Amino acid sequence: MSHTSLRRSYTWLAPIYNLLLRGVTHACRRDSLAHIPAGAGWQVLLPGVGTGLDCPWLPAGNSYFGLDITHAMLQRMTCPHIHRVEGDSQRLPFADESFDAVVLHLILAVSPQPASCLQEALRVLKPGGMLLIFDKFLRPGRPAPLRRWLSPLTAPLATRMDVELEALLQTCNNLVLQSDEAALLGGWFRRIRLEKKLT
């Protein structure tokens, strides 16, 4: 999956993206974002913010930055309280340790290089900061032959189906797992909360 094919696919998907995903993911987004405290004055980054489906569940009293590589997706966002940034989640245009929380909702399985996406999120996260993930992941050692077979076909169009979170986390040695909950489709989609170590 290249950035060019990713932009092309999501430019095409932008007009129907909310219709496809709003209803099926709203509860998972709500439950994930409930971990962000209201009125805390936090700086929060949402790489892969898309059309802004997380917006209704973002607690007031914080500053939010929504980044996406696809201009057509950002154009459809109607969230006045999110600062829009067109950019690449694999090369974030922010300084180290800039954010109190980073939200990775349905982006790791979309990113051509999910390990780079995770490492960049960790780079801009402050020590002690919160990383919230909602996405589909294969469990380690699970054969899932159909998903692995389909992944090369679906990756250029929209998303990979063979990403293993545990393998990604092995590339980062300063994250502490706080919670890991099944979200959708028998646990294929999961809600994960991690914290960046203080040292």
Q: What pLDDT is attached to residue 164? A: 86
Cα–Cα distance between 180 and 69 in angstroms, integer? 28
Q: What pLDDT is attached to residue 150? A: 58
Cα–Cα distance between 120 and 117 in angstroms, integer? 5
Q: What pLDDT is attached to residue 158? A: 66
Q: What pLDDT is attached to residue 5? A: 72
Identify the H or E element spanning 11: helix 3-33
- Residue 91 DSSP SS3: strand
Q: What is the residue-level pLDDT of the chain in tens, covering all 199 positions? A: 556 777 778 888 888 988 988 999 999 999 999 999 999 999 999 999 999 999 999 999 999 999 999 999 999 998 889 999 999 999 999 999 999 999 999 999 888 899 999 999 999 999 999 999 999 998 777 776 566 655 555 566 667 768 889 999 988 889 999 999 998 877 778 999 999 998 7
**Neighbouring C-beta atoms of residue 12, cutoff 10 Å:** 14
For residue 145, with 0-12 CB atoms within 10 Å meaning exposed, 13-18 middle and 19 or more buried, which class applies?
exposed
Q: What pLDDT is attached to residue 187? A: 77
Q: What pLDDT is attached to residue 156? A: 61
Q: How many structural domains compose the chain? A: 1
The whole domain housing 101 covers 3-196
Q: What pLDDT is attached to residue 177? A: 93
Q: What pLDDT is attached to residue 30? A: 96
Helices and strands: H and E segment counts in the chain = 5, 7
CATH number at residue 131: 3.40.50.150
Model's pTM, two decimal places?
A: 0.91
